[in-house]
Amino acid sequence: MSGSNFVDYVKIYCRSGKGGPGSKHFHRDNLTAKGGPDGGDGGRGGHIILRGNKNLWTLIHLKYARHIFAGDGESGGQSRSFGKDGEDKLIEVPCGTVLYDAETGDFLGDITEDGQEMILLKGGRGGQGNWHFRTATNQTPRYAQPGEPAIEKAVILQLKVLADVGLVGFPNAGKSTLLSVISAAKPEIADYPFTTLVPNLGIVSYRDNRSFVVADIPGIIEGASEGRGLGLRFLRHIERNSILLFMIPADCVDIRREFGILLNELTQYNPELVYKQRILAITKCDMLDEELIAAMRAELPEGIKTIFISSVSGLGITQLKDVIWEELTNEANKVVEISHRSMEIQPVFEEDDDSEMDWDDEIEIEDEDDDDDISKYKGIGWDDL
């Protein structure tokens, strides 16, 4: 998927439909000159509804349609006729979309399954006609109930891709190369940092027609939590993963230190990521012999499964798949519930009225043409000036 077509963050402005007013009509026909009230109720305003669609992988269809309005309800009619309901506006989003209030940053909900629907904004209820207000002492009510107003809200949609395994590592650690080897995905691969600019998904085939999904995100560097490199923008794509696969190249100076840096950056982003099951893969091992591999095992972090692999020669790829599938089938690693934190919305500071400059008092406008006497120009043509 090209970087220009991958959109995982969009802000939209939504407005539900307002309810239609009730009717104030009184019954009239050829035989009835002064009938009683028969005004009908107004129609309901349209809802703003979100629906999950498994065929969508990005929010690009909302990038250029950021104002979404539902239809208004129509007014009630005579003979207790109900007004037509406003047209609901259906917004299809990819599975894994999370909703936040754009003003407060509060979490509103998420769409995780295909066909799952969520009413984002409810349309206003239609007003009651004058037929509802007839009483023994007020047999001709000349009023009806207005419809409820529309609801307006700015909403932020974030996409957190659904995958079983998330690849975590520094730039040029071999993440995209591994994804291209174990799946049919074709991510961009080059010998310079930050080749991967957007997340890539790949479906890995396993034994007996089984499979699992792997997500490759852009590389992380030290200080990413402070905004260095690409920052932590794409780490939300591994929040739903069951397993985190850390990838460190064999030619790095200190494997244990690099693993600690990656773990610290994840902790700075979301402390809950630390509790996910972790697997360490030492990449680019095609030039290592058994003696070097045995010497490197003494420098590995403790308490984590480690596998030496090579995407070029295929070393350890089958073993890596076996370990991943074993951890995926472990009930302890199932992602039961994801707790979404509220977003931090940067406040927009408005200038105080006292600080605003009074243009009439502070600036004196000098009129260069104070002389309004045009008699001196009498008899002079414009060409003579």
DSSP letters spanning 234-285: GGGGGTT-SEEEEEEETTSS-HHHHHHHHHHHHHHH-GGGGGSEEEEEEE--
Q: Are 82 and 40 in contact (CB under 8 A)?
A: yes
Low-confidence ranges of the chain (pLDDT < 50): 1-3, 336, 349-350, 354-369, 374, 376-385
Whether residues 177 and 145 share a domain: the answer is no
How many C-beta atoms surround the C-beta of residue 230 within 10 A? Answer: 18
Whether residues 105 and 71 share a domain: the answer is yes
* Domain harbouring 13, CATH code: 2.70.210.12
Whether residues 176 and 105 share a domain: the answer is no
Whether residues 131 and 173 share a domain: the answer is no
Whether residues 56 and 18 share a domain: the answer is yes
| List of residues 6+ apart from 277 with CB closer than 8 A | 242, 243, 244, 327, 330, 332, 333
Whether residues 179 and 327 share a domain: the answer is yes
Whether residues 125 and 178 share a domain: the answer is no
Whether residues 215 and 268 share a domain: the answer is yes
Which of 127, 159, 191 marks a domain boundary?
159
Model pLDDT for residues 22-75, shown as the tens digit of each residue:
999 998 888 888 888 999 999 999 999 999 999 988 898 998 888 999 999 999
pLDDT at res. 365: 45
Asked whether residue 36 is domain-assigned, the answer is yes
pTM (two decimals): 0.71
pLDDT at res. 377: 40
The answer for 182, left when phi > 0, alpha when psi is -120 to 50, beta otherwise, is alpha
Asked whether residue 315 is domain-assigned, the answer is yes
How many C-beta atoms surround the C-beta of residue 380 within 10 A? Answer: 9
pLDDT at res. 337: 56
Whether residues 170 and 319 share a domain: the answer is yes
Range of the domain at 251: 165-333
pLDDT at res. 102: 92
Which of 101, 127, 159 marks a domain boundary?
159
Whether residues 55 and 88 share a domain: the answer is yes
* Tokens describing residue 105: 């940053």
Asked whether residue 30 is domain-assigned, the answer is yes
Whether residues 14 and 144 share a domain: the answer is yes
Classify each residue of 265-300 as buried b or exposed e, where b means 16 or more C-beta atoms within 10 Å of its C-beta: bbeebbeebeebbbbbbbbbbeebeeeeeeebeeee
| List of residues 6+ apart from 73 with CB closer than 8 A | 17, 18, 19, 20, 42, 43, 44, 45, 46, 83, 84, 85, 86, 123, 124, 126, 147
The domain tally of the chain equals 2
Whether residues 30 and 151 share a domain: the answer is yes
* Domain harbouring 228, CATH code: 3.40.50.300
Tell me the β-bridge partners of 53.
94
What's the half-sphere exposure (Cβ side, CA atoms, 13 Å) at 298? 4
